[in-house]
Homo-oligomer: A and B are copies of this chain.
Amino acid sequence: MGGDHGPSVVVAGCALALDLLPGRNIGFLLHGDRALIEAELANLPALRACAEVAHTDLVISGDEKAAVALRRGKGSSLWNAVEAIRKGEAQGAVSGGNTGALMAISKLILRMAGGLDRPAIVASWPTLRGVTAVLDVGANIDCDADQLVEFAIMGAAFYSAVHARNPAVRPTVGLLNVGSEEMKGHQEVRDANQVLRDAKLDLDYRGFVEGNDIAMGSVDVIVTDGFTGNVALKTGEGMARFFAATIREYLVSSLLSKIGALLASGALNKMRARLDPSSVNGGPLLGLNGTVVKSHGGADARGFANAVLVAANLAASDYAAEIARNLQRLADLKLKSDAEASAET
């Protein structure tokens, strides 16, 4: 029921995702108003054959505060979609609904994986070399060094599961800073850099990166706090919109360029879509015991299908086990350094 367009986009998006996942034994559990959903399913026989509708009247609106959604949201379509994971009825959930409510309800129902504090939201950012995963992009405003290290672990596992071209090659990880020198940046960023360098995590850690490295695709995963990540993501969105508006203006500035623009319009439209970091739809909430993916509220069916693919790939992957292994290594390391510290005193 979520997103700007409700079942019309969600159901069509599921049908598209089904087309894009041939040979994967996939089923859909659609939560919400049965009549509305069935009407959308009527013309989609392939989806109808592998979809089940779980009816509910209750819907959490887009502007509901997370705390209110937690108290009153039980039995809503969003709540039931997450609850279905806990019950083992689904391996993942995708929602175009209220982000704050989705995060709070997911955390309550699924709980965080071993020792993690709060979910991080990861953005799949289009770059010169493909896609770079940037996290956190807004769930955690103030982050300490431990959280940044956790983001590196979660981000690398996510990248392997969803974006890696060659699963045998570990994704490269960078920490966002204002310069590459060790002495620069916030204390928590420098501390996280130290842990990522010293702890023998199963990560290909490359040190500090800067803002321009995001769109350049210098590394596969870029770690930052939710404040900086959100500002960077939205700065990128603004740049893509500025680009689209500017290209229009310049291309009508002379007759020659008008003709040129007409001839190149197909290429320019494709490019415009590719430049916008919000165009790669499907932002997983990382760190939960279960796969929950947020689809952009304004996404169309193609965008929603992409979010479903992200969820399907994540749920079918070794992602959770990889995170658990690295968290265990981190815990062992801390135990060891605590033991050494107390042995010294």
Contacts and interface: CB of A to CB of B under 8 A. Distances in A.
Copies per complex? 2
Contacts of A210: 230-231, 234
Interface of A is mostly: helix
Contact of A185 (B141, B214, B239, B264): B141
Interface stretch (A2-10, A43-51, A268-276): A268-276
Interface string A235-279: 111111111011100110110110111111111101100110000
A176 interface: yes
B263 A275 contact: no
Contacts of A232: 211, 231-232, 235
A246 B231 CA distance: 23
A178 B257 contact: no
B214 A238 contact: yes
Interface in A212-245: 212-216, 224, 226-228, 230-243, 245
A301 B68 CA distance: 59
Contacts of A211: 230-238
A57 interface: no
Contacts of A231: 176, 178, 210-211, 224, 228, 231-232
A259 B263 contact: yes
Contact of A275 (B138, B184, B234, B239): B239
Interface residues of A, number: 58
A127 interface: yes
Given A178-B231, A231-B232, A234-B211, A250 B268 contact: yes
Nearest to A234: B211
Contacts of A230: 178, 210-211
A87 interface: no
B228 A212 contact: no
A275 B254 CA distance: 19
A186 interface: yes
Nearest to A142: B186
A99 B186 CA distance: 20
A128 interface: yes
Contacts of A235: 211-212, 214-215, 232, 235-236, 239
Interface string A273-292: 01100000000000000000
Most buried by B among A210, A213, A235, A243: A235
A237 B212 contact: yes
> What 7 A-B pairs come out closest when comparing CB atoms?
A211-B234, A260-B263, A260-B264, A212-B238, A215-B238, A211-B235, A215-B242
Given A178-B227, A210-B234, A212-B241, 19 more contacts: A128-B246, A141-B184, A178-B226, A211-B230, A212-B238, A216-B241, A224-B231, A227-B228, A231-B231, A232-B235, A235-B236, A239-B243, A246-B274, A247-B268, A251-B264, A257-B267, A260-B262, A260-B263, A260-B265
